[in-house]
Amino acid sequence: MSRFELLSGPSDSPSPSEADSGDSLPRLTSQPQISEAEALDAYSQVVIRAAETVGPAVVNIDVHHRTRSGQKGSRSGEPRPSGSGSGFVFTPDGFILTNDHVVHRAEKIEVTFADGRRMKAELVGSDPETDLAVVRVASNDLTPARFGDSKIVRPGQLVIAIGNPYGFQFTVTAGVVSALGRSLRARSGRLIDNVIQTDAALNPGNSGGPLVSSRGEVIGVNTAMLLPAQGLCFAIASSTAEFVAGRLIHDGRVRRGYLGIAGQNVPMPRHLIRFHNLLADSGILVVSVEENSPAERAGVREGDVLVEFDGEKLTGIDDLHRLLTETRVDRPLPMALVRRAEKLILEIVPADSR
């Protein structure tokens, strides 16, 4: 008899007739215990498989900027190494995804693969609002990483970050998804939504590298860490990255709406909220209106408080940024605002944010 069987006393033993009947209970057995060493080894195997799957697609990106006049050790205007980061191949014909801040204003871009090959790359397009960029190398036989579905990612899920921190190529760290739905402020001032928070260690040079699931699928693009904190690292979700990468390959940029106003978030007086049945208790105070802009043509004035746009409430500037998508460019849309104590509905046509 196995030592894992649940043994019963003599008085509880079923008779032969009971054992043969369909009403008798099945014999209970306990599950074999897995040792800590075996569990650790299984964890290691998952990380190893994921890293080996994505590894050939991960690259180191070196960028060169023009030197300033009078800078020591080089002639004025000569490109010289000034930064590095990570990226990963996502098509066999040489398209590589990375962070915008890695290749921002680069005069020359060089890519080094895991097998040691080094190639020049050209910038295809960049999107500072999501901190994503696409570069391309002249090759048609590359092994791409496969995107996963970031929408099914859950807190606590195992993730692996691969990159080149401090110039050490192909470094692997592992952790878990700490939280979902975070927001980060891009250099442009817009919020990057749908950001994944993880405790998989990131360091300078990891930017642009893939955040990978246990199945070896890219579920995020590593973008930032909070330096004073321990284990607070962030990645742009793959659902955002796929959309932006497609737009950058097709158009070289992502189209967004532009109104031509400067504003600040302000609370709304309670009596105006009740009187006008406003959807939120705050809005956007228009500080200035650009000349010949969509806002000026629509009749927006300094001092107006924007409270709704295309039927959606505006609690602040970030709400307006989220709504100014390419689908709203060149379309007449309703905008509600409060001017003094009066609520007005104006028609505004967002322009392309070139």
Work out the pLDDT band at 150, boundaries 50, 70, 90. very high
The pTM score is 0.77
What domains are defined for the chain?
Answer: 146-239 (2.40.10.10), 257-352 (2.30.42.10)
User: Choosing from 62, 100, 131, 304, which is the catalytic residue?
Assistant: 131
CA within 13 Å, CB half, 93: 1
> Of the ranges 3-7, 68-72, 75-79, 91-95, which is most confident?
91-95
pLDDT tens, position by position, 283-338: 999 999 999 999 999 999 999 999 999 999 999 998 998 899 899 999 999 999 99
Q: Please answer whether residues 266 and 278 qualify as being in contact, where contact means their C-beta atoms are separated by less than 8 angstroms.
A: no
User: Choosing from 62, 84, 86, 101, which is the catalytic residue?
Assistant: 101
Nearest to 349 by CA among 334, 327, 324, 332: 332
Distance CA 205, CA 225 (A): 11
pLDDT tens, position by position, 199-216: 998 887 889 999 999 999
pLDDT tens, position by position, 107-141: 999 999 988 899 999 999 999 999 999 999 999 98
- Give the CA-trace dihedral at 268, 274, 275, 277, to 10 degrees: 90
pLDDT tens, position by position, 18-65: 444 444 444 545 556 767 777 678 889 999 999 999 999 999 999 998
> What's the rounded mean pLDDT across residues 178-183?
90
- Whether 131 is a known active-site residue: answer yes
Radius of gyration of the CA atoms of the chain, in A: 28
| Surface-to-core class of residue 25, CB atoms within 10 Å of its CB (0-12 exposed, 13-18 middle, 19+ buried) | exposed
- Whether 93 is a known active-site residue: answer no
Work out the pLDDT band at 80, boundaries 50, 70, 90. confident
Distance CA 96, CA 259 (A): 33
Give pLDDT, residue 35: 74
Give pLDDT, residue 284: 96
Pair of tokens at residue 22: 């369909």
Element containing residue 40 per DSSP (H, E): helix 36-54
- Whether 207 is a known active-site residue: answer yes
User: Choosing from 126, 150, 207, 213, which is the catalytic residue?
Assistant: 207
- Is the pLDDT at 2 greater than 50? The verdict is no
